[in-house]
Amino acid sequence: MGSLFRYSPTRNVQSPNSSPHLSPRSLPDPLFPWLTSIRRALDEFRRKPEKCGDSLRVLLENCISNFSDDEQYRDDARFLRICILYGDVTQDFKQIFEMVEAKGICQGQSMLFEAYAAFLIEKGDLLEANKVYRLGISRNAEPLERLKRMYAMFLKHVKEIIQNAATESQVNKIVHERQDQFCVDPWSTSVIDSFLKKKETCIKKYAGYHVSNKIYSGKASLSSLQNSSRNKTLELGGKKYQIKGCSGVGRFAQVYKAFVDNNPDDVVALKIQRPAFVWEFYMYRLLDERIRSEERSSFGFAHRAHIYADSSILVTDYLPHGTLQDAINSHLVTNKVMEEVLCIHYSIEMLRMLETLHSVGIIHGDFKPDNLLVRYSREELSADGFSSRTGNWADQGLCLVDWGRGIDLCLFPAGTNFIGDCQTSGFSCVQMQENQPWKYQVDTYGLCVIVHMMLHGSYMTLEKTAKPDGSYHYQPKKPFKRYWKVELWSNLFSSLLNNRSNESDVMLLQSLRKSFEDHICNNQQMINQLKHLLARQKSSLGLT
């Protein structure tokens, strides 16, 4: 640590210990006298480690306590070095790493990740060291090339390290990984916060973005809103929103139907979230930028976002027709499942959605029937236009909402794969279940579960069969009905459940979609049946 403090003193500044009446905050650089004192304490520690260890530790603790919340030193490499030194002295680098993560200190500096990884390697924890290197690379920590070289050296020599420090499981998880692939949890708070910080200037320019450093202070407090709330009014940006009911409740958010300025013809959805959450608004504006106009109606729209110190309110389109989950349930209440032609129609819609999203570098991340709103044509569907989605068929289909777990692939380095669980029961893909890296599978597995729910009326459970080459084949446990178009369904599940590649799946999705479209378009009677079933479904939900 001899090069920890490199500076050229330009004035005779007393250390914080030598003059208790001098306020360091009155100096142009309040950290400077601490650096002087720490250097002296470090020199004493090297001469008398047994006697001076405690005084050095206390000095470092006091320094970190004084400056950890100071914006002036948020990206100061000198302060980061003090934190690293404290980790060395206390041998509790994990605590320091968690602290700087939580406070956002020097998250873009490779030195943080290099130091923590070195500490972990010394302790023999190669798996954690591997994760730390990958986390730093996923954040493009500077200097990035040096960090990549360090990581490449780690992988190159890991076999030698393993001989002394690692277990066989560590060999399997580290040595066999490709060096150009990096894994990161895209939903971790630190990853999202770092991206929002980088995109802050861009987000502030988005239409409809309103931010305040105060809490919401309207007449109707947000905390007073209940699921049964009616006719309470929220005032946002010069408009008044009359609450007309709750249409969805999550762990951190509630969604309400509301009239704008008491106009029943101007209806929106208000998503109220605590604490404030900007990421979903960013994802909606990303959709505006990347999705073609003819496909845009399939992905929901956000009018504005009001960000407060304690909460956020997202104003989006309100679709009155319920969700795909409601449509599935409407059949189950009569002890029936969806007719196959309806299942084919919605499968085509979902395949098209994911094909569109994945082709522009977007992953939804929470693909389930509750997040798919049903769109119905206002007028009777015509006999033609189904294959081209023109005429009234352009208004018929699904709309994907709830973008809080959306992933913008363009923010990650090429070759990045993902780790972490979606935490949605029944929708964790095979890779999540087996602790393997994933990418597009988080969406396509969700599609498979939804199709299974439409066909069978139940969640999907898998059957895992060993193959001669040592790999496994996955398929749903429930068999297909013999009168279904078994070839189509079997190909869908087999292709998506057994897709191990984390490369683009757009061609696969397109191929599956076309196989279903060809089947239904070659039979006019099926299109007529679909028209009748959609009209009946709409009527059964009271949506005539």
Q: What is the C-alpha separation between 400 and 298, in angstroms, rounded?
A: 6
Distance (Å, rounded) from C-alpha 9 to C-alpha 17? Answer: 18
Residue spans of alpha helices (H) in 257-339:
279-290, 324-332
Tokens of 452: 């299974």
**Structural element, H or E, at residue 168:** helix 168-174
Residue type at 352? R
Dihedral of CA atoms 105, 110, 116, 119 in degrees, nearest 10, equals -150
Please answer whether residues 236 and 184 qualify as being in contact, where contact means their C-beta atoms are separated by less than 8 angstroms: no
Q: How far apart are CA 27 and CA 13, in angstroms?
A: 9
HSE of 101 in the Cβ direction (CA atoms, 13 Å)? Answer: 17
The angle at the Cα of 512, spanning 511 to 515, to the nearest 5 degrees, equals: 90
Closest CA to 498 of 484, 508, 488: 508
Spatial CB neighbours of 43, under 8 Å, sequence gap ≥ 6: none
Q: Give the DSSP H or E segment for 416.
A: strand 416-418
Residues contacting 276, CB < 8 A, separation 6+:
307, 308, 309, 310, 311, 312
DSSP-based three-state secondary structure for 264: strand
- The kind and range of the H/E element at 341 are helix 340-359
The position carrying tokens 């931010």 is 211
Radius of gyration of the chain (CA): 28
Contact (Cβ atoms closer than 8 angstroms) between residue 438 and residue 417 = yes
Q: In sequence order, which ranges of 365-485 are alpha helices (DSSP H)? A: 430-433, 441-456
Distance CA 450, CA 369 (A): 6
Strand partners, 418: 184, 438
Structure tokens at 303: 């009018």
Which of 264, 371, 250, 379 minimizes the C-alpha distance to 322? 371
CA 206 to chain centre: 20
The residues assigned a catalytic role are 366
